[in-house]
Amino acid sequence: MCTNCVRHGVRTHGPCPECEDERSLPGLDSTGQPVCVDCSGIPTSFRCAICGVEDESFYSHTCLRCSLKRRLSGILDDGSGMVAAAMLPFFNAMVSMGRPRQGLTWLNSAAVRQRLTDLATGVVPLTHEGIDTFGGGPGREYLRELLMAHGVLPTVDKYLLAFERFAQHRLQNIDDPGDRQTITVYLRWRHRRDLVARSEAGVLTARTQNNAQQQTNAAVRFLDWLRMRQVALSACSQEDVDIWFATTPNAVSALDFLKWSIHHRRCMPLTIPTGRRGPQVVSSESHRKEVLGRLLTDDVISLRDRVVGCLVVLLAQPVTRICTLRLSDVVERDGLVAVQLGNEAVELPRAVGALVTAHVQSRSRMATAANSGSAWLFPGNSPNQHVVARQLSRRMSKLGISISDRQAALHQLVRDVPAPIVALALGFNPTTTTKAAAGLGTDWAAYAAVRSRQTSRSH
């Protein structure tokens, strides 16, 4: 038998139809039903030599979990034959994960093993500064988040930490002392202060961090461009600004720096262009209903994607908000499922509520050390983190769901319900729903007065 068939057979557990023992069922009887080793006559034993459990083996006669424990014990040995005491919470989380094969696969990387060994033996300090000494990339940050998730490292905001590393590197690569001083102040008082405030409020995202970095890079490019023209920032004229926007690719990325410079009188008052958005494209109502019907009935689509799609095309929710929903935001009352999006939990149609309930009961990525017991409705790959909004956007695009479908959902909502009520219930800015209603010509201005007159007449 091939390796995959052996794995599938050994991982099949249940009562043997012949001996009725509860055990692994790798064999088949004459009717094709899975049976245990003894009843099928298979001479091989699948019992772990360490724990005695019948399961898939990794090392010879050693189950996956015991193999993971054995391998990780050696990697985290502090030199005394024992797992380093500081790494014990991480070790315990790894060996108790629901899918130990994923842990073994992760440890196949020589870089991962070396980093863990360096931390366990003290070659690299078990601190955030120590983690920074490892080679960059997602692997280093995944390890940092894993150690934070299990209390080995103090918890810090990974986006704020990444911005601090960027800021240090960015300043080191600015040669002109005057430009370096200007960017130092810009980083400290424009971006870092804003990012710290967002971090403390729990709303700092990768997108915000990336925007801050892009705007800083644009500021450096603008100062370099001025210096090539032998113009100081304080002497920057309207002509300079006009030429910059007329000749420079992605010139608008420097808008934030220019506005900041004008506001803080680092340059003279200037007129800078403002970008204009084109008209929003809105899907037809028939297309929106078609998409919603497919999400409710097509079992081929993953359960997570069906739930996310329903929240987009039914309640007009952006994926940036959907990805941050927690389990506590989903409540059940009187047999109906509701989700907390604004000031009150909004009841979902029964069909959509059933999808949400099924998703909660079978959330993906919950059997690893990264997300065991995650509080997020849509757990991500990183420890204790929700799924990235960009990933959800890509998955929705593959299903043919776009922002035009979300706009169609918003338009339908403000047709049926006054814009202020939609804003409160679904967590929108009142300006957003008011503009949508105004664009449709929906007049809810007299809603309260009309309702009052109707009520008085009925009495």
Q: Is the pLDDT of residue 411 over 50?
A: yes
For position 383, what pLDDT does the model report? 77
User: What is the SS3 assignment for 264?
Assistant: coil
CA–CA gap between residue 13 and residue 224 (Å, rounded): 67
pLDDT digits (tens, 9 = 90+) for 274-293: 755 556 678 888 889 999 99
For position 22, what pLDDT does the model report? 85
CA–CA gap between residue 253 and residue 217 (Å, rounded): 9
Sign of the torsion angle spanned by Cα atoms 81, 85, 90, 93: positive
pLDDT above 70 covers a percentage of the chain that reads 92
pLDDT digits (tens, 9 = 90+) for 71-86: 999 999 999 999 999 9
Whether residue 137 is contained in a domain is answered as: yes
- Helix and strand numbers (H, E) in the chain are 23, 7
Whether residue 352 is contained in a domain is answered as: yes
| Domain-ending residue, one of 99, 119, 149 | 149
Whether residue 448 is contained in a domain is answered as: no
Q: Measured between alpha carbons, how far is residue 202 from residues 159, 196, 318, 373, 390 in Å?
A: 11, 10, 18, 20, 19
Residues 294 and 403 in one domain: yes
Average of pLDDT values for 157-169? 90
Residues 104 and 226 in one domain: no
Average of pLDDT values for 334-350? 88
Instruction: Name the average pLDDT for the chain.
Output: 86
pLDDT grade for 250, boundaries at 50, 70 and 90: confident
Average of pLDDT values for 234-247? 92
Residues 110 and 220 in one domain: no
pLDDT digits (tens, 9 = 90+) for 137-150: 778 888 998 999 88
For position 240, what pLDDT does the model report? 93
Number of domains in the chain: 4
Q: Is the pLDDT of residue 226 over 80?
A: yes
Whether residue 236 is contained in a domain is answered as: yes
Residues 299 and 389 in one domain: yes
User: What is the SS3 assignment for 204?
Assistant: coil
For position 281, what pLDDT does the model report? 76
For position 275, what pLDDT does the model report? 58
For position 273, what pLDDT does the model report? 78
For position 124, what pLDDT does the model report? 95
Whether residue 117 is contained in a domain is answered as: yes
Average of pLDDT values for 384-397? 87
pLDDT grade for 452, boundaries at 50, 70 and 90: very low
For position 24, what pLDDT does the model report? 83
For position 454, what pLDDT does the model report? 44
pLDDT grade for 33, boundaries at 50, 70 and 90: confident
Whether residue 302 is contained in a domain is answered as: yes
pLDDT grade for 453, boundaries at 50, 70 and 90: very low
CA–CA gap between residue 339 and residue 342 (Å, rounded): 9
Residues 138 and 109 in one domain: yes
Q: Is the pLDDT of residue 334 over 70?
A: yes
Region label for 442, one of left (φ > 0), alpha (ψ between -120 and 50) or beta (otherwise): beta
User: What is the SS3 assignment for 342?
Assistant: coil
Pairing of strands 330-333, 336-340: antiparallel
pLDDT grade for 365, boundaries at 50, 70 and 90: low
| Domain-ending residue, one of 124, 149, 174 | 149
Q: Is the pLDDT of residue 450 over 70?
A: no
Residues 259 and 289 in one domain: no
pLDDT digits (tens, 9 = 90+) for 112-142: 999 999 999 999 999 999 998 998 777 888 8
For position 279, what pLDDT does the model report? 61
For position 390, what pLDDT does the model report? 86
pLDDT digits (tens, 9 = 90+) for 167-185: 999 999 999 999 999 999 9
For position 84, what pLDDT does the model report? 95
Q: Do 315 and 356 contact (CB within 8 A), yes or no?
A: no
Q: Is the pLDDT of residue 363 over 90?
A: no
Q: Which tokens go with 195? A: 């990012």
Residues 164 and 112 in one domain: no
pLDDT grade for 449, boundaries at 50, 70 and 90: very low
Average of pLDDT values for 197-220? 90
| Domain-ending residue, one of 98, 125, 149 | 149
Residues 232 and 138 in one domain: no
Whether residue 439 is contained in a domain is answered as: no
CA–CA gap between residue 97 and residue 105 (Å, rounded): 13
Whether residue 55 is contained in a domain is answered as: no
Residues 95 and 188 in one domain: no
Query: What's the domain range around 100?
Result: 64-149
Residues 167 and 222 in one domain: yes
Q: Give the torsion through C-alpha atoms of 166, 256, 193, 235, to 10 deg.
A: 90
More confident residue, 333 or 6: 333
Q: Measured between alpha carbons, how far is residue 458 from residues 445, 447, 449 in Å?
A: 22, 17, 14
First and final C-alpha spacing in the chain:
80
Average of pLDDT values for 151-172? 91
Residues 6+ apart with CB under 8 A from 76: 83, 84, 87, 90, 91, 116, 117, 120
Residues 173 and 289 in one domain: no
Residues 123 and 165 in one domain: no
